[in-house]
């Protein structure tokens, strides 16, 4: 009986969220774009075949212009650029998602713990957070990716470890606000320990913020991933959009004016990042009434 009530309430709040989200036209457009892209990425093996990355079985000549057989032309190994672009969506989305989740997870943990315990411990933790906030993110990520071995996981780690402080600050502020409410006092009086308060009361209350932060973080993470790959710090055996741009530059696409080699991966990165930003802003303004209606 209680569970069904619980679920009914949860369903109602999701429905309420959706009703308000729908009013943000840009957010809906972003969500539609993302859904389409996620479908393409998941269905990539069916759409283009999983041997699209193979250098030895490349179907075309090197650096062909767009044609009927290769709508976006071919790369320097003769692989279809459209196929690579579709395949690259998988790695860009995976890295973006995982890195944003890692970053927000670290930020949430640090924020809640610092906000809950307070005192000198919190001061020290927030000093460390401030330090990370001041560090130039890209430089730190590049340095991490340089000293660690080359792999997709290194890129995820490098992005996640360098971008968490914003979330930590926001979550800490929210935690302090939540903990000043009477029901936390009630929970403590009933014998709830630190763990109980943090996981049962504070965490659900900071979740909306965390959700918005994650959505916004993904677009940054995707851009950073493309950047790292472009600088040659990604996994060289994996096709990603940033890696395609690096390939294009190395193949001399710039000086020979092969715009069709360069344009699509960049447009793809920009569209995905834009879609996540639009969704994130919509989620944020739905969940955070403080932002008002103007935005």
- Which stretches of the chain bind other proteins, using CB under 8 A? 126-127, 130-131, 133-140, 142-144, 146-148, 163, 165-166, 169-170, 172-173, 176, 212-213, 216-217, 219-220, 223-224, 226-227, 230-233, 242, 245, 248-249, 254-257, 259, 262-263, 265-266, 269-271, 273-274, 277-278, 280-281, 284, 288, 290-292, 294-295
Residue with tokens 């003769």: 78
Cβ closer to other proteins: 73 or 265? 265
Minimal distance in Å, beta carbon 172 to other proteins?
8
Cβ closer to other proteins: 1 or 134? 134
Cβ closer to other proteins: 71 or 266? 266
Cβ closer to other proteins: 58 or 179? 179
Cβ closer to other proteins: 47 or 148? 148
The three-state (H, E, C) secondary structure of 40-85, written as one string: HHHCHHHHHCHHHHCCCCCCCCCCCCCCCCCCCCECCCCCEHHHHH
Minimal distance in Å, beta carbon 230 to other proteins?
6
Q: Write the DSSP string, 185-233.
A: HHHHHTT--HHHIIIIIIHHHHHHHHHHHHHHHHHHHHHHHHHHHHTT-
Residues 6+ apart with CB under 8 A from 129: 110, 114, 165, 168, 169
Residue with tokens 């959505």: 215
CA distance 76 to 284: 43
CA distance 265 to 223: 12
Minimal distance in Å, beta carbon 194 to other proteins?
19
At residue 31's C-alpha, the angle toward residues 108 and 96, to 5°, is 45
CA distance 60 to 187: 67
Cβ closer to other proteins: 83 or 107? 107
Minimal distance in Å, beta carbon 154 to other proteins?
11
Minimal distance in Å, beta carbon 167 to other proteins?
9
């Amino acid at each position: 009986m209680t569970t069904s009530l619980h679920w009914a309430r949860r369903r109602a709040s999701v429905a309420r969220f959706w009703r308000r989200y729908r009013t943000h036209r840009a957010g809906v457009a972003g969500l539609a774009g993302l859904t389409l892209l996620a479908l393409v990425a998941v269905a990539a093996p069916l759409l283009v075949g999983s041997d699209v990355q193979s250098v030895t079985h490349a179907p075309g000549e090197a650096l062909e212009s767009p044609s009927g057989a290769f709508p976006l032309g071919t790369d320097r190994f003769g692989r279809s650029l459209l196929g690579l672009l579709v395949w690259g969506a998988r790695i860009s989305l995976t890295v973006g998602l995982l890195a944003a989740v890692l970053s927000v997870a670290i930020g949430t943990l640090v924020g809640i713990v610092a906000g809950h315990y307070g005192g000198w411990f919190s001061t020290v933790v927030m000093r460390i957070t401030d330090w990370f906030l001041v560090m130039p993110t890209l430089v730190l990520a590049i340095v991490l990716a340089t000293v660690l071995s080359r792999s997709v996981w290194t890129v995820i780690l490098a992005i996640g470890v360098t971008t968490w402080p914003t979330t930590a600050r926001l979550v800490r502020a929210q935690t302090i606000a939540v903990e000043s409410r009477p029901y936390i006092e009630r929970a403590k009086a009933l014998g709830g320990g630190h763990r109980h308060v943090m996981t049962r009361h504070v965490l659900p209350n900071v979740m909306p913020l965390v959700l918005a932060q994650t959505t916004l973080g993904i677009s940054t993470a995707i851009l950073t991933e493309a950047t790292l790959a472009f600088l040659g710090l990604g996994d060289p055996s994996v096709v990603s959009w940033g890696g395609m741009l690096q390939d294009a530059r190395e193949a001399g696409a710039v000086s020979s004016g092969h715009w069709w080699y360069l344009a699509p991966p960049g447009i793809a990165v920009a569209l995905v990042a834009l879609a996540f930003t639009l969704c994130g802003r919509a989620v944020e303004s739905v969940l955070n009434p403080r932002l008002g209606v103007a935005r």
